[in-house]
Amino acid sequence: MTPTSPTPADIRAARAQAGLTQQQAADLAGVNRVTWARYEIGAQPMGSRAWIYWLHAAGLERMPFRGSR
């Protein structure tokens, strides 16, 4: 399964669910607030890997990983 990039609505909804401001969400993502705002309005796509990491950092989902074999 290949993860997909989130829609602007997904990004806004997740930030609201986490109870974060745009600045706090941007800090977790390692980007500035302007970049985060661009994600939320759809002016700049957020990559699927960054999205998965951000959901994990925000405490909304656990990051999937493969264990050693």
What's the pTM value of the predicted model, to 2 decimals? 0.85
Task: Report the alpha-carbon distance of residue 29 to residue 27 in Å, rounded.
Answer: 5
3-state secondary structure of 21: coil
What domain range is 20 assigned to? 8-57
pLDDT in tens, 15-49: 999 999 999 999 999 999 999 999 999 999 999 99
CATH of the domain at 29: 1.10.260.40
Which pLDDT band holds residue 1 (cuts at 50, 70, 90)?
A: very low
For residue 51, count CB atoms less than 10 angstroms from its CB and return exposed for 0-12, middle for 13-18, buried for 19 or more: buried
In a domain? residue 19: yes
In a domain? residue 18: yes
In a domain? residue 35: yes
> How many domains are contained in the chain?
1
Our measurement of the distance from residue 17's CA atom to the centroid of its chain's CA atoms, rounded to an integer in Å, reads 12
